[in-house]
Amino acid sequence: MAVRLDTEIRREQIISAALGLIGEKGLRNLRMPDIAQKVDLVPSALYRHFSGKQELVLAIVDSIRASLEKHLARSGEETPDPLERLEFIMDEHLKMIGGSPGMPLLVLSEDAAFGDPKMRRRVLEIHEFFRKAVADIMKEAIKTGRVGPDTDPGEAALVFVSLIQHTAVMTAISGGDVHLGPLAGKAWRKYVKDLVG
């Protein structure tokens, strides 16, 4: 069991280092030797964990989804109120983006849109999964009377996700120098206030 744990920890270290390098240099300039240097491995040792850059990038995408799933689950543990859950999710997601400018660069990259079909499919699945999860929470807000019955959950989910994505884009292209998280949170709260009436 210890070997498995060591392997999992090492994979997480490699993923984290790769995301950091994507934040610094972009996805196209991500090189296995640079990642190896960041985690104090010889380049050939990386291939014990990932068969190549493509597999590593797919693992990063999968780790992003796992983080989103964790935020969604934790939101339910934090509060039963659907609007408070959404605020928690937004805060956690924005912290995740702020701590890793490489994340938006990866999921919004040209490679994600036009490159490897597996990557494109997985990135699209993340976007759809997240949007649907937010819409489901908004349906709960409607059902519990937290927002009006005429609220469109799909529209609200699009607003929510768009606020996060714009913040992610600005964080990525500024190299982490632009921090719109507080403004995105404020805009979401104003939108919800209008829904509550």
Total tally of structural domains belonging to the chain: 1
Q: Which residue has the higher pLDDT, 197 or 138?
A: 138
Distance CA 159, CA 175 (A): 24
Other beta carbons less than 10 A from residue 12's beta carbon:
12
pLDDT one-digit tens code per residue, 142-171:
999 999 999 999 999 999 999 998 888 887
Instruction: Answer yes or no: is 5 within a domain.
Output: no
Other beta carbons less than 10 A from residue 154's beta carbon:
14
Distance of CA 122 to the CA centre of its chain: 12
Length of the chain counted residue by residue: 197
Instruction: Answer yes or no: is 35 within a domain.
Output: no
99: pLDDT strictly greater than 90: no
Instruction: Answer yes or no: is 12 within a domain.
Output: no
Instruction: Answer yes or no: is 67 within a domain.
Output: yes
Instruction: Answer yes or no: is 183 within a domain.
Output: yes
What is the CATH number for 100?
1.10.357.10
pLDDT one-digit tens code per residue, 171-192:
777 777 777 778 888 888 888 8
Domain limits at 79?
57-196
Distance CA 149, CA 163 (A): 23
Angle, alpha carbons 19-160-101 (nearest 5°): 15
